[in-house]
Chain A
Amino acid sequence: MAKKYELNEVEVWDGNMAAAHALRQANIDIVAAYPITPSTPIVQNYSKFLADGYVDGEFIMVESEHSAMSGCVAASAAGVRAATATSSQGFALMVEVLYQASGMRLPIVLTVVNRALAAPLNVNGDHSDMYLGRDAGWINLCSYNPQEAYDLTLMAFRIGEDLNVRLPVMVHQDGFICSHTAQNVRPLQDEEAAEFVGEYKAVNTMLDVANPVTHGVQTEEDWHFEHKARQHNDLMNSVKVIKEVFAEFKDRTGREYDLVYTYKMDDADVAIFALGTTVESAQIAADQMREQGIKAGVVSLRVLRPFPFDEVAKALGNVKAVAAMDRSAPGGTFGMLFNEISAALLARGKSPVILNYIYGLGGRDTTITMLKEVYEELDKCAKAGEAVVPLQQFLGLRGPKLSFY
């Protein structure tokens, strides 16, 4: 029986430690992980908890991130709770198996520390890995600080394992700016967290020899389409369970989560739409703009997948101009957020000015000053009623100004 970990009401944890404690408290049966870079201190911390007697489950060290996710798939198909953590190149190597996990409907939890993808080699934070895996059929939850990385990791088990969902869940946090930044975190006590997460409910277990099942079989044109359609259907409908789990978590902790996060949007004329730690920095910039008489707000996704299409359209429904801030190299088009929020707004009959800013690649600092510059450009567009700056710009880039469209 695992020892109880003595926790203070307020701990000072970085995002890695916060996620590691959430994994520890979730009573995971199998963590399969690659024990060196590009994995994260999350699994390093977790393995220390295990060595110190705070974990009952098993930790399997594997030779790559591909094997880490494969180990989780095997454990989950066998009928137990499985989770791991990764980042950057490790995430990229996992991608093939991410699709296996979602297609086999295995409720694995993956904590992702979002970092840049090579080349050039870079260990710092951006959202390239998040964008790479966003269509892999997983539920994607987004945190902006260590507290949320902790909260959402606990909630991920409840959401993915719900009998109406049975899908894997990723929890994203910004590399370094969240993962290696220590802040105040209010954890649940061990027994409280375990009670919230609950016992694992096994479904179609491979090791139940009395009821033989098969996983990951071949389905050609006769059945593949139906499987993928059902998978999409259940991913879309997971919204109901996500909302229920958010509500129950609020009852326990007072901490409120919703599909879309908004700050001062009731009367906002201009808005920054971003993910990760920038969501919080932008609130400081918004407050400073409001002191200058510009009604600024911030919108973000708490749930990147399933994409809250109507909630995004509603949150941005009354703004005159919005900046979609993409922290990933767009690779020959607009950034993902620009495309997705444009679609949501236009399909619901709204047409504010929508700008795209590429920013923060490879850990480039995103300052309050830069975010205020974005608001100033949005304000110009809002007053003109049209885009008076290029649609796609690069924020905080050295050298000649780069813009497109």
Chain B
Amino acid sequence: MLEIRWHSRAGQGAVTGAKGLADVVANTGKYVQAFAFYGSAKRGAAMTAYNRVDEKPILNHEKFMRPDYVLVIDPGLTYTADITANEKENTKYIITTHLSKEELIKSQPKLEGKEVYVVDCMQISLDTIGRAIPNTPMLGALMKVSGMFDLDYFQNAMKKVLAKFPQKIIDANMAAIERAYNEVQ
């Protein structure tokens, strides 16, 4: 079982991102789960979303998770949310930031010694989509780091997930995915 935890602010698209990833993975015959912690949280509140992926039907409905990947799509949450909660020895972190990996770890010492990747999903989404919607670039970065799917396959699969949107938005998302795939370090 592969488990992923997203740290996001409500409105940044973590739930859509988690569901988009689930859609793509389900098309390959695997079983998926995508969910989030809701409360009465309003736009901007810190929240978490989750993915599970397995070869067999997923019966586990506990919210508790020891994630294989932690995806942080809002730069501030690296400092204000408990992004290392319930981590495993080999949990991988992909973090949205304008800082270099060294600067990031210096600014948040609890990431010291962990497998950390950085990518500026905010700038990428502003440049490509024109809005701060960092979810699809994060998926591009995840593809690169995890090797889950190659870039072409994933982009084609995401085109189907985004099919209800105008072509301009689909193209912008494809560009965002590609840039994050190439820029994540």
A interface residue numbers (CB < 8 A to B): 8, 10-12, 14, 123-124, 174, 176-178, 180-184, 277-278, 280-281, 283-284, 365-369
Contacts and interface: CB of A to CB of B under 8 A. Distances in A.
A183 B63 CA distance: 15
Contacts of B27: 8, 10
17 contacts: A10-B26, A12-B19, A12-B22, A12-B23, A12-B26, A12-B32, A124-B39, A174-B61, A181-B33, A183-B32, A183-B34, A184-B57, A280-B60, A283-B59, A284-B59, A366-B61, A367-B62
Given A12-B34, A123-B39, A182 B22 contact: yes
A285 B152 CA distance: 40
B58 A183 contact: yes
B32 A182 contact: yes
A281 B60 contact: yes
A167 to B, nearest CB: 30
Contacts of A174: 61
B64 interface: yes
B31 interface: yes
A365 B62 contact: yes
Given A12-B23, A176-B38, A367-B62, 17 more contacts: A8-B27, A10-B27, A11-B26, A12-B26, A123-B39, A178-B61, A180-B35, A181-B33, A182-B33, A182-B35, A183-B22, A183-B34, A183-B58, A184-B26, A184-B57, A284-B60, A365-B63
B36 interface: yes
A281 B61 contact: yes
A119 B14 CA distance: 30
- Please indicate which of the listed interface residues A124, A181, A367 has the most CB atoms of chain B within 10 Å of its own CB: A181
Contact of B33 (A123, A183, A367, A368): A183
Most buried by B among A124, A183, A280, A369: A183
A284 B62 CA distance: 11
Contacts of A184: 26, 31-32, 57
Interface of B: 18-19, 22-23, 26-27, 31-36, 38-40, 57-64
A87 B35 CA distance: 19
A285 B79 CA distance: 35
A400 B47 CA distance: 29
Nearest to B19: A182
Contact of B64 (A11, A183, A367): A367
A10 B60 CA distance: 20
A104 to B, nearest CB: 36
B61 A181 contact: yes
B61 A278 contact: yes
Contacts of A365: 62-64
Nearest to B64: A367
Contacts of A10: 26-27
A121 to B, nearest CB: 8
Contact of A368 (B32, B35, B38, B62): B62
Nearest to A11: B26
Contact of B35 (A11, A177, A369): A177
A366 B38 contact: no
Nearest to B59: A280
Nearest to B57: A184
Given A10-B26, A12-B26, A180 B61 contact: no
Contacts of A278: 61
A203 B120 CA distance: 63
Contacts of B58: 183
Contacts of A277: 61
Contacts of B32: 12, 182-184
Contact of B60 (A12, A123, A124, A368): A368
Contacts of B59: 280-281, 283-284
Nearest to A178: B61
A334 B123 CA distance: 56
Contacts of B64: 365, 367-369
A54 B32 CA distance: 27
B35 A181 contact: yes
Sort A-B residue pairs by CB-CB distance and give the 10 closest, nearest first.
A277-B61, A280-B59, A181-B35, A182-B34, A365-B63, A367-B62, A367-B64, A281-B61, A12-B23, A12-B22
B34 A181 contact: yes
Contacts of B34: 12, 181-183
B162 to A, nearest CB: 14
Nearest to B25: A12
